[in-house]
Amino acid sequence: MKVRIPKSLKKGDTIGLISASGATPKEALPKAVEAVEKLGFKVVIGETCRERHGYLAGKDVLRAKEVNDMFRDPAIDGIFCIRGGYGATKILPLLDYEMIGENPKVFTGYSDVTALHIVFNQKCDFVTYHTPMPSTEFIKREMDEYSWSSFINCVTNTEQKNYFLENPSTQQMTTFVDGEATGRLVGGNLSLVVASLGTPYEIDTKDKILFLEDIDEYERSIDRMLTQLKLAGKLNDAAGIILGGWTNCGPQNPNHPEESLRLQTIFEEILAPLNIPILMDVACGHCLPTMSLPLGRIITINSELKTIEVVG
């Protein structure tokens, strides 16, 4: 099935800022808006950017309505999720996938937004963008030139192909399992990928290149989630795997590391026997610098040469 590529953004376009997940801290909103405007875009601030329902950016009905409305509105050229958090999975049954599929737009975010990337790639058949977000990375002093450049290229040059996704010069990718594979790029945050299993929104990894990253998980939790993906057949189905950042993912008791397993060991025991190309230490995830990824595009990974090329 051909996955459509949204129209590139250009200066002067209007961006809808939304939160399909967690509530945005009040002090972060004006800074986030300013950061997007500095890129040359106009901004429409969604109601969810100001709402709070406990840890959520408003109740489920409001967050779903705003996603639907932003896609339906012809005056909105692109949609940036202002932050992640939790809650995107809760609105999946409330989205109008037929309408969204008729109005593909540049859609960005990561972390909890993984739930939306999966359904928009699979149910609506258009490419989405795993990128840093306005109220988190955009306003950090550590947001570097590499991360800005990767983001801007991703959203303003959407139809570009035959180009390489490269780490910053100071960080090398690592060969984990040798080989070359081509397929559509899917995935995102490991916790959200696993949360899709057994639901109508389950990720399809058949002949795909699966990207995974996570944050703040004990090593045994990473083990459990990868094991669940393996038992569900999702790892065996994949053509290749890209491993991104694993930020603050360590032993539950750092004073007794012998009671845990290192991530490297977990990957060796669960992923290496798959005998498919695996590339690790890709600068993407809950980290800076961070690469922006075009989810749904066809890519070729060569783990021996340590290259990722967008080919279709």
Task: Show which residues are catalytic.
Answer: 111, 213, 286
Residue 150, C-beta contacts closer than 8 angstroms, at least 6 positions apart: 290, 291, 292
Three-state SS for 153? helix
Residue 32, C-beta contacts closer than 8 angstroms, at least 6 positions apart: 17, 24, 49, 82, 134, 135, 138, 139
Asked if 78 contacts 39 with a C-beta cutoff of 8 angstroms, the reply is: no
Report the distance separating Cα 216 and Cα 246, nearest Å: 8
Give the residue from 238, 243, 236, 215 showing the smallest Cα distance to 308.
Answer: 243
Asked if 293 contacts 130 with a C-beta cutoff of 8 angstroms, the reply is: yes
Say how many residues make up the chain.
312
The enclosing H or E element of 220 equals helix 219-231
What does DSSP assign to residue 163?
A: E
Distance (Å) of CA 306 to CA 32, 172, 241, 242, 309: 34, 8, 12, 11, 10
